[in-house]
Structure 1
């Protein structure tokens, strides 16, 4: 079973390293990325049912990862 992962990371170098690392595990596919809280919430809201796991950096250039996690609260 493949897990669809949404990655919230504002550092391009970390993001560039995390994507292949997650996909190399063989059970994860990165389906989207965002660099800010607003961008992440927008993507998640418009892609309901298309992601299983969000990997979230708490310290972002705009907003925080905490806001993203709060938005996810109660999601099935």
Structure 2
């Protein structure tokens, strides 16, 4: 089976941002920079470079799931 996905007329999210009087613009910008940094770290060092604290528990599955491709071992 094959699935084809295409993107047309993709626009920067900058054009769709709306702020109101109660939005803290600096906080929104800080959060964007943080998320961008996290993506860059994961891209450079792998998916397991940054995980939530709960993923360090014994029963957590995030580290194992990051090594799977389509639910199968990636080895």
Say yes or no: TM over 0.5.
no
Q: TM-score, normalised by structure 2?
A: 0.21
Q: Normalized per residue, which structure has more strand?
A: 1
Bigger fraction of residues in helix:
2
Higher gyration radius (CA)? 2
